[in-house]
Amino acid sequence: MSFTIAIDGPAGAGKGTLARRLADHYHLHLLDTGLTYRAVAHALLSCGLPLDDEAHAIEAAHSLDLGKMDRAVLSAHAVGEAASQVAVMPALRRVLVDKQRDFARRPPGAVLDGRDIGTVVCPDAEVKLYLTASAEVRAGRRLAEIEARGGTAEFSRILDDIRKRDERDMSRADSPLRPAADAVLLDTSEMDIEAAFLAACAIVDAARAGRDGF
C-alpha cells in the first residue's frame, strides 16, 4: 500500500522546498516532475531542435531515466521557459505521465510536485496541496535564488517571465495548471517555508490518521 502527496502550483510558489521537506519527514520518495519536462526541453535544445519537434521530444521522454536527471543543468532559467513550451504537447505528456505514475506507485509512496499531479497524474492521491503566491513574491524568490548562486538578473524580467509562464501553463488545452477540486489551497505569499511545512504536516497527519499501515 503506498501513500501519495500531490503538490501543484505555479513556478516559484515553494513547491520544491515543501516537497523535499515532506518527503524527508515522512520517508517517502520524491519526484520533481518539472525536471522531466525540463530534461526533454534540454535534450531538444542541446541538439539544436525546435521545441515543437514532437517525434524527438517523445524519443527523449522514452529514454529518460528519472534517477539520472541533473538538477544543476536543468534548473537554468532558459530551460524552464523551454520546458513550458514542450509541455503543451499532449503525446509527450502521456509518455512522461506514465513514467511519473510508475514512480508514484513504488512503496511506501511518494511526494510529487508539478502542475497536474492532483488533477491528472495521481487523481487518487491521499493528500493534494495547491501552493500559490503572488507573482511579485514568486519573482522576488527566484531573484534571491539566482543571486544566492552568484548570478544576477533583473526583477522586472523575471516577473514578466513568471507571468508569461503562468499564462501558458494555465491556458494550455491539455492538463492546464489548476487546483484539483479536492486540493487544499496554501497561499505562501506571507508564509515562510516553516509555516507552509507545518500547515502541510497537519493536513498529511489528518489524512494518515484515516489510513492503516503508513
Residues 101-140, interacting with ligand C5P (CB under 6 A)? 114-116
Whether residue 82 contacts residue 51, with contact meaning beta carbons closer than 8 Å, is answered with yes
Q: Pick the piece of the chain touching ligand C5P (CB under 6 A) from 33-41, 62-70, 103-111, 154-162.
A: 33-41
Residues 137-156, interacting with ligand C5P (CB under 6 A)? none
* Binding of ligand C5P by 89 (CB under 6 A): no
Q: Which residues contact 6 (CB under 8 A, 6 or more apart)?
A: 112, 113, 117, 118, 121, 122, 125, 127, 128, 129, 180, 183
For ligand C5P, how many residues bind (rule: CB under 6 A)?
Answer: 14
Among 5, 83, 158, 162, binds ligand C5P (CB under 6 A): 83
Q: How far is the CB of 125 from ligand C5P (least distance, A)?
A: 13
Asked, as a colleague might, if the bond just before 90 is cis with ω within 30 of 0, I would say no
Binding mask 39-78 for ligand C5P (x = CB under 6 A): ----------------------------------------
Select from 201, 172, 167, 168 the least CA-distant residue to 184: 201
Q: Which is nearer to ligand C5P, 16 or 206 (CB)?
A: 16
Q: How far is the CB of 188 from ligand C5P (least distance, A)?
A: 15
Q: How far is the CB of 3 from ligand C5P (least distance, A)?
A: 19
CA distance 90 to 214: 34
Distances (CA, A) of 136 to 159, 188, 192, 194: 6, 12, 15, 20
Cβ neighbour number for residue 94 with a 10 Å cutoff:
13
* Binding of ligand C5P by 9 (CB under 6 A): no
| C-alpha triplet 161, 164, 168: angle, nearest 5° | 135
* Binding of ligand C5P by 161 (CB under 6 A): no
* Binding of ligand C5P by 11 (CB under 6 A): yes
How far, rounded to the nearest angstrom, does the alpha carbon of residue 60 sit from its chain's CA centroid? 19
* Binding of ligand C5P by 37 (CB under 6 A): yes
Strands 29-32 and 109-114: parallel
Contact positions toward ligand C5P, by CB under 6 A? 11, 33-34, 37-38, 80, 83-84, 87, 114-116, 165, 169
